[in-house]
Amino acid sequence: MGQEICIRGSKDFFYLALEDRLKRSGINITSDAKNASTTIGIDTNDEVDLLIIPKGSKNNNGRLVIIIHDLIIPTGYSKWSPKDIYLFVEQIKNNETNIVDKSKIHYLVHIRDAIEAISMIVLSNNFHDSRGTMNICGRRAWSNESIFNEIKMLWTRFHNSINYTHTTDSLSKIPSIIKENNRKNRERPNLDSLNKELIRAGGDGWHPLTPLRTGLMELLAQNL
């Protein structure tokens, strides 16, 4: 494609995932911001075309700013993710049952879906006209209690598999992950701008593809 993009910021899990995705799209990643067609800042105060920040960051020096909420990064906890879900993994592995802030709500989204959306926006022919602020998060509200119980179920099934302790009952009963979670405990960040931008980029809007159960399974696998 011949397009060169400069990414600035700390090389954390999020930075490396975005860099890898853009490289796989044929983009040349350069350290020379002056000659790059696009500059992306990862939670940095540098002046950039696109600034990507976690919720609560004070940086805002971008033509387009994307705020990331409640990101699932299976490889480990970081400022992009809610700490609770990583705490739950450790608690369940240690047979602890205390659920912190049971009714606390998260709008979890997998890093793959967030990276795909950002890449689509950046690679769009309309990207250089894009301005303002938008949010990325999951569409569905999940309480800490629902997340804890889901991780516990997945851990139990894994533990039964490696110890050959499955029963007909344990194999046949797969509880539904769909729960009634009270969104009033935390209103979802506004996704309208993101949805419109993805449609403008030629897509169908914001439709995360990675199920929560899959994301939590990967989280467990990476933190055994």
Single pTM value for the model: 0.90
Question: What domains are there in the chain, each with its CATH number?
Answer: 4-222 (3.40.50.720)
CA dist., res. 71 & res. 73, Å (int): 6
- Determine phi and psi for 87, rounding to 5 degrees: -65, -40
H-assigned helices in 53-191: 83-93, 111-123, 144-162, 168-172
pLDDT in tens, the chain (224 residues): 468 999 999 999 999 999 999 999 999 999 999 999 999 999 999 999 999 999 999 999 999 999 999 999 999 899 999 999 999 999 998 999 889 899 999 999 999 999 999 999 999 999 999 999 999 999 999 999 999 999 998 988 877 666 556 565 655 656 666 566 777 779 999 999 999 999 999 999 999 999 999 999 999 998 87
Token match 């989280």: residue? 219
Q: Per DSSP, which regions of 137-205 are E strands?
A: 142-143
- Tokens 């992306």 belong to 40
CB 194 within 8 A of CB 120: no
- Helix (H) or strand (E) run with residue 65 in it: strand 62-68
CA–CA distances in Å: residue 27 to residues 23, 68, 73: 5, 23, 23
